[in-house]
A and B are shown apart, each in its own frame.
Chain A
């Protein structure tokens, strides 16, 4: 017997020995290829942390400073890398703190496995110390959840949880483990595959429907590709580019789809929706055929539904059958993974005559006219830093290559409009839930996944203060994450709505006391840079971005700038206010 074979058989034997629940959990995580997890210890997870300390070489644990932070970091890690993020929290307050993170991942379909401790089985239901019904609380924001009853069930539950989190429409799965289960012994048997009676997501769409869709596209006079997060989740950006280029189709991404199509490309119309470009919103409104790929016709995208694309025939590609036809009537549903279905369509194209792109020349003339009529624009200033200018400078200094995470609000929209993402998995944003405090920890997660890449958190002064404590995490693990605080001393988007729709009646949006963000950075052992004047902006950004380690930029921008174009709530996409 060779040495390796001996080792293998010893390993095999060791695995068949009885293990504690905590050991089983760690062993199962390794089988799923997990090498990094994010968490915060506590009473109910002590056995697990005891085991993790022994396995530091196999599983790296990143200690966050708050459970919400831990889950956001895990989500940023997952979104940037395409892996499944893993978070570990204790029972009671550990779990309730994690809920915002779990809900955020649910709304943005990010694959996460969240492991929470629970009080011992016998104490469940007794209002024990740090007891809360975690499965109950998270039921409506998880794809599936488990309360583990026996250590012998744990291995197959972990296997199933990972399978569910990263297949079909991805999402967070919760495993709640009572403390005594993590100490209980059972033999470790890891299943090879998961079979569920009720769940087998379609990768490919029906061939006949694909053919029908392609023939519609070839006949369309005013087609448009409306693309979103599904393209990124399925790693379908290359296929999308090929498909769009072959047929010279105009492309408009959603907020979640930023980067799935290169923004500098001539077929790119910019983002659509409430703060989308004039051109994109006009084009989708006038289209005779919408090819929707991995999108869900969100209300922030469609505007008033009765005015949305009234003349369009709609082809909808989505992995989630319940998303198809949920909001608008779909004429050709193609249920499947965005990349797989795009490949099917590329294949199907071969059986048709070479597309006549001449057919679209009138359509493209019109689109170019819209582009010229109202390009994204803002009034430059020599006295104050314009937020739009800040986004453009960031693009210029990073060559549009950085991974950038944002919260929700004005800064998020300006970055979406002016940064110009080139690659998928580079824009990490809280699209569905709209969580303030998401951006910085998410950027930190991306930086941990890619230590060598330029990763930036682009956040507002309000949102940054919601999870700023994670600066300690960023510094502890010697990351290079850069945090750009777009500081207008206002809760900007709420202020904008109060200005426009509530007759300038500003109510509780003025942040009258703010920390000195430069000193705050220094207090955590990070570096701080400040820019107040447009003259110094470029130099401050350049110096800061070149600085090793964690850097916080306090960038004071014009206080009452508004995001335009804007489709007022309840209006149709064509009823944009251009500013």
Chain B
């Protein structure tokens, strides 16, 4: 099963490597990884998605939280949360009608055009992984020359009423 782990760690040389080491040392492959500093200076947050059995993930969480510089570890699968990612995709448009079709698709997925020339168009799209997967699937009938995904970031759902 896919798990989304959210890890808060001191922003210090080698700490990300320790986390990645722990995962890869167990023969697990990281599907996506996104890291940046939080509002607190010197503290980073990493969001990591990977596949694993429940028990494997539980053990990994324990080993991660044992790391001296790891402040907290959370398996987002256990709580209600939002997940998003951003993707750039460049599509070749040798003919005018394909450009029109791509722009229609973009509107459908609320993707934005960030760049274009005579032969190609670059879109940016935000959303849940499934939505992006679906859009890329639709674009496959054209020639995709570049596709870059940020990987998932996740935030817990707020509790209580508005």
Interface residues of A (CB under 8 A from B): 135-136, 139-140, 143-145, 147, 164, 169, 196-199, 320-322, 325-326
Is there contact, CB below 8 Å, between A143 and B68? yes
The distance in angstroms between the C-alpha atoms of A403 and B17, with both chains bound, is 40
Is there contact, CB below 8 Å, between A326 and B17? no
Is there contact, CB below 8 Å, between B66 and A135? no
Is there contact, CB below 8 Å, between B62 and A322? yes
Is there contact, CB below 8 Å, between A145 and B59? no
The distance in angstroms between the C-alpha atoms of A321 and B10, with both chains bound, is 20
The distance in angstroms between the C-alpha atoms of A325 and B66, with both chains bound, is 13
The distance in angstroms between the C-alpha atoms of A321 and B22, with both chains bound, is 17
Is there contact, CB below 8 Å, between B13 and A197? no
Q: What are some 30 contacts across the A-B interface (CB < 8 A)?
A: A136-B17, A139-B18, A139-B21, A140-B21, A140-B22, A140-B25, A143-B68, A144-B69, A145-B14, A147-B13, A147-B14, A164-B68, A169-B66, A196-B68, A197-B10, A197-B43, A197-B71, A198-B9, A198-B68, A198-B69, A198-B70, A198-B71, A320-B66, A321-B65, A321-B66, A322-B63, A322-B65, A322-B66, A325-B62, A326-B62
Q: Which residues of B have CB within 8 Å of A145?
A: 14
Is there contact, CB below 8 Å, between A326 and B13? no
Q: Which residues of A have CB within 8 Å of B13?
A: 147
Q: Which residues of B have CB within 8 Å of A140?
A: 21-22, 25
CB contacts under 8 Å to A, within B1-59, are 9-10, 13-14, 17-18, 21-22, 25, 42-43, 59
Name the residue in B22, B42, B68 with the highest tally of chain A Cβ atoms < 10 Å from its Cβ: B68
Is there contact, CB below 8 Å, between B68 and A144? yes
Distance to closest chain A CB from B1 (angstroms): 20
* Given A197-B42, A198-B9, A320-B66; 10 other pairs, CB 8 A cutoff: A135-B14, A136-B17, A147-B13, A164-B68, A197-B43, A198-B10, A198-B68, A198-B71, A199-B69, A326-B62
Give the interface residue-count category, chain B: 20 to 34
Report the tally of A-B residue pairs with Cβ distances under 8 A.
42
Nearest 6 A/B pairs, CB to CB = A322-B62, A322-B66, A198-B71, A144-B68, A199-B68, A198-B69
Q: Which residues of A have CB within 8 Å of B66?
A: 169, 320-322
Is there contact, CB below 8 Å, between A139 and B10? no
Distance to closest chain B CB from A112 (angstroms): 15
Q: Which residues of B have CB within 8 Å of A136?
A: 17
Q: Which residues of B have CB within 8 Å of A326?
A: 59, 62
Q: Which residue of B lies closest to A143 (CB)?
A: B68
Is there contact, CB below 8 Å, between B59 and A139? no
Q: Which residue of A lies closest to B71 (CB)?
A: A198
Chain B contact residues: helix, strand, loop or mixed: mixed
The distance in angstroms between the C-alpha atoms of A518 and B87, with both chains bound, is 72
The distance in angstroms between the C-alpha atoms of A169 and B62, with both chains bound, is 14
Q: Which residues of A have CB within 8 Å of B65?
A: 321-322
Distance to closest chain A CB from B33 (angstroms): 17
The distance in angstroms between the C-alpha atoms of A147 and B12, with both chains bound, is 11
Q: Which residues of A have CB within 8 Å of B22?
A: 140
The distance in angstroms between the C-alpha atoms of A504 and B23, with both chains bound, is 39
The distance in angstroms between the C-alpha atoms of A145 and B14, with both chains bound, is 9
Q: Which residues of B have CB within 8 Å of A196?
A: 68-69
Distance to closest chain A CB from B19 (angstroms): 10
The distance in angstroms between the C-alpha atoms of A209 and B50, with both chains bound, is 35
The distance in angstroms between the C-alpha atoms of A322 and B70, with both chains bound, is 13
The distance in angstroms between the C-alpha atoms of A140 and B26, with both chains bound, is 11
The distance in angstroms between the C-alpha atoms of A326 and B58, with both chains bound, is 8
Q: Which residues of B have CB within 8 Å of A144?
A: 68-69
The distance in angstroms between the C-alpha atoms of A390 and B21, with both chains bound, is 45
Name the residue in B42, B43, B66 with the highest tally of chain A Cβ atoms < 10 Å from its Cβ: B66
Q: Which residues of B have CB within 8 Å of A139?
A: 14, 17-18, 21
Q: Which residues of B have CB within 8 Å of A164?
A: 68
The distance in angstroms between the C-alpha atoms of A199 and B69, with both chains bound, is 7
Q: Which residue of A lies closest to B69 (CB)?
A: A198
Distance to closest chain B CB from A248 (angstroms): 35
The distance in angstroms between the C-alpha atoms of A144 and B21, with both chains bound, is 13
Q: Which residue of B lies closest to A144 (CB)?
A: B68
Q: Which residue of B lies closest to A169 (CB)?
A: B66
Distance to closest chain A CB from B72 (angstroms): 8
Q: Which residue of B lies closest to A135 (CB)?
A: B14
Distance to closest chain A CB from B97 (angstroms): 52
Distance to closest chain A CB from B158 (angstroms): 25
The distance in angstroms between the C-alpha atoms of A173 and B22, with both chains bound, is 17
Q: Which residues of A have CB within 8 Å of B17?
A: 136, 139
The distance in angstroms between the C-alpha atoms of A144 and B13, with both chains bound, is 12
The distance in angstroms between the C-alpha atoms of A198 and B66, with both chains bound, is 10
Distance to closest chain A CB from B28 (angstroms): 14
Distance to closest chain A CB from B6 (angstroms): 15
Q: Which residue of A lies closest to B64 (CB)?
A: A322
The distance in angstroms between the C-alpha atoms of A489 and B70, with both chains bound, is 48
Q: Which residues of A have CB within 8 Å of B42?
A: 197
Q: Which residues of A have CB within 8 Å of B25?
A: 140
Distance to closest chain A CB from B53 (angstroms): 15
Q: Which residue of A lies closest to B65 (CB)?
A: A322
The distance in angstroms between the C-alpha atoms of A304 and B25, with both chains bound, is 24
Distance to closest chain A CB from B91 (angstroms): 39
Distance to closest chain A CB from B123 (angstroms): 38
Distance to closest chain A CB from B7 (angstroms): 11
